[in-house]
């Protein structure tokens, strides 16, 4: 059966997350329902990663097998038509060989977290950022972040219900930039790794926010990592500021 890869964008607020769940609306179920309108086999969609409730994506990748060998551009248009009115869009579609798997073929994933510091409420981007009212200092957060880059046991920064076989991961990038905003500033956290633990990104951002607010000295982040103890972690940030922005493969299925 022909296999197709999809690059997927979605606003996570209306969904219980990526994964299909009974009696709840998920991104996976919405896409599968759209595909079922086009293919009698009711295709299932496998994704590069399972995003949580409220988490967004601009570069999620999924794949599905269909009975008909569509032209990718026509399949993209047809799926998007049947996705309405869900806030989901297929932004790229490609025919791939049967050895491609959205999750198991991936060799890297990238997340963006958007944190806004200002007292005035967000209006245009409400639900798309995590807003705090207190000022944040960039340099202490950047200093503290250095301790997390590299190959570490991230037990402190994983959810208690995380199902990963090992807490050891290699964080290839953790950069923080500051961007002016009317009445405040936006801080953007970019994180890259082959794979992440459940709640790892949100745990890291929530901890670094405490450093930026002056509640934690930068060295405490390194101490928390070394403790390998979930109770040493700072608060877990809310999901609305988190975006899955990209998935990397040995050969980009959407490059041609």
Q: Is 52 considered catalytic here?
A: yes
Catalytic pick among 39, 52, 153, 172: 52
Beta bridge partners of 111: 191, 244
**Distance (Å, rounded) from C-alpha 128 to C-alpha 64?**
29
**Distance (Å, rounded) from C-alpha 192 to C-alpha 170?**
9
- Phi first, then psi: give them for residue 216, nearest 5 degrees: -120, 140
Secondary structure of residue 50 in the 3-state scheme: coil
**Distance (Å, rounded) from C-alpha 234 to C-alpha 32?**
37
CB atoms within 10 A of CB 119: 11
Active site residues: 52
């Amino acid at each position: 059966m022909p296999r197709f890869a999809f690059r997927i964008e979605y606003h996570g607020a209306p969904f219980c997350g990526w994964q299909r769940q009974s009696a709840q609306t998920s991104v996976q179920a919405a896409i599968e329902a759209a595909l079922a309108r086009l293919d009698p086999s009711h295709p299932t969609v496998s994704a590069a990663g399972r995003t949580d409730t409220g988490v967004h994506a601009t570069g999620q990748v999924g794949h599905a097998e269909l009975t008909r060998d569509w032209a990718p551009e026509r399949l993209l248009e047809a799926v998007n038509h049947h996705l309405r009115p869900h806030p989901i869009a297929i932004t790229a579609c490609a025919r791939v060989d049967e050895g491609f798997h959205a999750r198991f073929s991936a060799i890297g994933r990238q997340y963006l977290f958007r944190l806004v510091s200002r007292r005035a409420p967000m209006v245009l981007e409400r639900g798309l950022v995590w807003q705090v009212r207190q000022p944040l200092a960039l340099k202490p957060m950047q200093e503290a972040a250095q301790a997390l880059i590299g190959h570490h046991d991230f037990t402190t920064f994983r959810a208690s219900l995380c199902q990963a076989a090992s807490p050891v991961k290699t964080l290839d990038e953790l950069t923080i930039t500051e961007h002016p905003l009317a009445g405040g500033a936006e801080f953007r956290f970019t994180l890259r790794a082959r794979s992440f633990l459940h709640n790892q990104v949100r745990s890291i951002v929530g901890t670094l926010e405490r450093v930026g607010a002056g509640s934690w000295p930068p060295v405490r982040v390194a101490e928390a990592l070394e403790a390998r103890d979930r109770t040493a972690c700072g608060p877990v940030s809310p999901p609305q500021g988190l975006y899955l922005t990209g998935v990397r493969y040995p050969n980009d299925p959407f490059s041609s």
